[in-house]
Amino acid sequence: MSPNNLSKIIIVAKDEWRYWLRSKLAISVMAIGLLLTLSSVIVTSINMMELSHARHELQENAEETFVDQPDRHPHRMVHYGHYAFRTPAPLSILDPGIDAYTGNSIFLEGHRQNSAMFADQKQGTALTQLGSLTPAFIVQTLAPLLLILIGYSSVSRERESQTLTYLLSQGTSGNTLILGKGLALLSVIGLILAPLAVAALISLHDGESITAVLAFILGYGLYLSVWALLVLFFSSALSKNSESFTALAFVWILLCVVMPRVASTTAATSVPSAGKLETDFAVIAELRKLGDGHNAADPAFDKLKASLLEKYNV
C-alpha cells in the first residue's frame, strides 16, 4: 500500500470520527459501551476476589475439621467425608468460565459418586446469563450491537445523501473508502478492549499464563473485527440506512441471542446428562451385580475368598 493511499484511508477514518462526534447517538453508544465494559471489569474483579477469599477460608476450615476429628478406623473416616472447593482462576476477572455450570465445591465421601454443588446455572432459568454482565458477556453479546449502532450507516449514509458519487469523482476509490470506515470501526474496537487489556495485565500479574491472556485478548479482537466486517458489508451492499440496520439487527439476534440457546438445547437433547438420582440408582445396580463388600456371608465374598485361598495354596 502506497503512502498516498494510506493517508487517504486515515483521512476517511478521521472524517468518520468527525461525524460520530457530531452525532449524539454515536457518542451515547460509545459512552455506554465504555461504561459497561469498565464497570463489568471492576465489579467482576471484586466479586472474584471475594469468592477466592471465601473459598480459601472454607477450604482451610474443612481441612482443619478433617484433621482435628478423633481417632477412627480409616474405613470409618472415609464415610465422614471431606469438602473440596475450587478457587477462581486469575483470568476469571474477565471470564468466569464454566464455574456457573460445573459448580464450585464437591463433597468427597467413600462409596459414593457425589456431584459438584452450588452451580448457579442449575438454580436459574435459560435467561440467567442475560443478567450476568461479565466482561466476556459484554464483548460477546453487547459489543457487536454497539458496533452495529455506530457503523450501520457508514457507507449507506454516503449513498443515501448522494455524497458517494462526489467522493468517487474526487479520486477516492471504493476500497479506500471502505478501508477508512473499517479503520474507524477498529479504533472503536480498541476502545472497547482497552479496559479488558488492563484487567488482563492484572490477571497476568496474579499468575495467569501469558498464552491464555494473549489468546483471550486477540481472540475477542478477532471476533469483533469479524463483526466490523459484517457491518461494512451490509452497509456497502444495501442502499438505505434503514435496510442496513434492519439486516444487521436480524443477524445480531440470530447469532447472539437465538443460536446460543438453540445450540445448548440441541446439545442437551442429543447427549442428555444423567441426574444425581439416576446416577445413584445406576451405581447401586452395578454394585448389586458385584456383591456386597460389607457382608461377609455374601456369595460374591465367598467366591472371592475361595479364589484367593486357591491362588496362594492356603
Of 190, 188, 181, 177, which Cα lies nearest the Cα of 147?
188
Please write the tens of the pLDDT for every residue from 165-216: 777 777 677 788 888 889 999 999 999 898 888 888 888 888 888 898 899 8
Predicted confidence (pLDDT) at residue 122 exceeds the cutoff of 80: no
Distance, in Å, from the CA atom of 136 to the CA atom of 45, rounded to the nearest integer, reads 12
Of 132, 137, 130, 79, which Cα lies nearest the Cα of 109?
79
Cell numbers 500479574 correspond to what residue?
205
Helices (H) and strands (E) in the chain, counts: 14, 2
Please write the tens of the pLDDT for every residue from 66-94: 888 888 777 777 777 788 888 888 888 88
What share of the chain in percent tops pLDDT 70? 89
* pLDDT for position 251: 94
Write down the pTM of the prediction: 0.76
Confidence band, pLDDT 50/70/90 cuts, at residue 4: confident
Q: Mind giving me the DSSP string for 228-245? A: HHHHHHHHHH-SSHHHHH
Residues 6+ apart with CB under 8 A from 247: 234, 238
Please state, as a whole number, how many other Cβ atoms lie within 10 Å of the Cβ of residue 11.
Answer: 13
Of 250, 229, 245, which Cα lies nearest the Cα of 160?
245
Predicted confidence (pLDDT) at residue 49 exceeds the cutoff of 50: yes
Q: How many CA atoms lie within 13 A of 302 on its CB side?
A: 3
Confidence band, pLDDT 50/70/90 cuts, at residue 228: very high
Mean pLDDT estimate for the chain: 82
Residues 6+ apart with CB under 8 A from 108: 81, 82, 83, 84, 114
Is residue 106 classed as helix, strand or coil in its secondary structure? strand
Confidence band, pLDDT 50/70/90 cuts, at residue 127: very low
* pLDDT for position 284: 77
Q: How many CA atoms lie within 13 A of 280 on its CB side?
A: 6
Distance, in Å, from the CA atom of 157 to the CA atom of 181, rounded to the nearest integer, reads 12
* pLDDT for position 2: 66
Q: At what angle do helices 210-237 and 174-205 cross, to 10 degrees?
A: 160
